[in-house]
Amino acid sequence: MARNDLVLQLVKSGVAGDRDASRRVAEALVADERSKQRSALAERLEGVLKAAPRAAPTAPREDVVGLQIKLPDRTLDTICLSDINRVLIEEFIEEQDRSDLLRSHGMEPRHTMLLVGAPGVGKTSLAEAIATALSLPLHTVKYDTLVGSYLGETSARLRRVFDHARTNPCVLFFDEFDAIGKERGDASDVGELKRVVASLLTQIDDMPATSVAICATNHPELLDSAAWRRFEMRLTLELPDAAELADYFVRFAANLDEPLGIEPAALATALEGASYADAEAFCLDAKRRSVLSLGAKPMKQIVETLLERRQAQAPIQRVTLQGAKPAPRKRWESAKTASETVSPPPEKTKAKTKKTAGKGAGQTGRKNARKSTRPSSTT
């Protein structure tokens, strides 16, 4: 579309009060300006677009079930991430923010992401923060209403959910993704679930880059093997170590009206093995007790009391995440699969050699004995 037509369309949508159409035309205008090397106006237009609030999310049609819509408010600076994960997330957001530039070169931004990690490491919070950074509503899929009891009902509902996401830009979030994206090779599952997985993978493939699909799982080993390649970005969120927990408590202490009374490193040591969700719950509990005491108890005393109570509680059972692939075989077995020539383990070689040597010696002795009992031939 020519520049004059874009300007005309922008005015028309503005007069009609269609904010979504105005934004789409403005983004196309930015792409047109960049393609003509007029970056000054493009940057000014981008600044206006970023400053303008997004329109309220559109309520889904009555036949779209299984969606919980929320306007996100959590930001990335409140999420604790490793350095590499933070860089990858920022690149993901930059591609979405500058999608017009990518499209002007015939490319689309990445828009599918898989988050793997133990409970409490911040997968749901990260999805909400990404939605906030992109100024998109967060649409969370609820399996209790999505999954139907009749044949083909779940696939039909899932199709309508993706149709809604195609026409209404959003962050579509699948928590506990392994519940619906389970491995189809499992013999214990019925054929209906396998059809649902096939439909899900097809819908993800057909999802446009105007919306973002984020899936989270605690059990990557349960996911269908074909699901992995559907995600253009795959991140593993680890449980925090002592240093990362200490950084979290430093942030917590900075937001208090009084000193924490205990060193963040010491507090992190006392809560060793806790997730970010555990640490957040601990900090919120401390703030509650401080508010309810009306300043009568210092924060140090409150924290020490909470630590004593925590020791009396049952410890949280952590399950070590298994990889998405089967456990690796022994080196010499996997090398054989790769058509490499590798000798067996040394101890087995020695045992085999001794056994073979003994067997050979016995056979030789018996042959010699048989020869000696035969009558000698006369000439």
Closest-CA residue to 58 (of 157, 134, 156, 137): 137
Q: What is the pLDDT of residue 338?
A: 38
Q: What is the pLDDT of residues 73-88, one digit of tens each?
A: 899 988 889 999 999 9
Q: Which residue has the tokens 């060193």?
A: 263
* Percent of the chain surpassing pLDDT 70: 72
Q: Give the number of residues written for the chain.
A: 379
Given a contact cutoff of 8 angstroms between Cβ atoms, the answer to whether 208 and 309 are in contact is: no
Quote the CATH superfamily of domain 67-237.
Answer: P-loop containing nucleotide triphosphate hydrolases (3.40.50.300)
- Phi first, then psi, for residue 274 (nearest 5°) are -80, 150
Q: What is the pLDDT of residue 376?
A: 47
Neighbours of 205 (CB within 10 A): 10
Q: What is the pLDDT of residues 228-277, one digit of tens each?
A: 989 999 999 999 989 999 999 998 888 887 888 889 999 999 888 889 99
> Which amino acid is located at 144 in the chain?
D
Q: What is the pLDDT of residues 240-252, one digit of tens each?
A: 989 999 999 998 8
Q: What is the pLDDT of residue 43?
A: 80
Nearest-5° Cα angle at 168, 164 to 172: 70
**Which tokens hold the place of 136?**
């998109």
Of the CA atoms within 13 Å of residue 224, those in its CB half-sphere come to 24
What is the band of 127 on the pLDDT scale with cuts at 50, 70, 90?
very high
**Which tokens hold the place of 69?**
């819509």
Q: What is the pLDDT of residues 195-239, one digit of tens each?
A: 888 889 999 999 999 999 999 999 999 898 888 989 999 999 999
- For 272, counting Cβ atoms within 10 Å of its Cβ (0-12 exposed, 13-18 middle, 19+ buried), the class is exposed
Q: What is the pLDDT of residue 219?
A: 92
Domains of the chain by residue range:
3-51, 67-237, 242-312
Q: Max CA-CA distance within the chain?
A: 126
The answer to whether the predicted template modeling score (pTM) of the entire model surpasses 0.75 is no
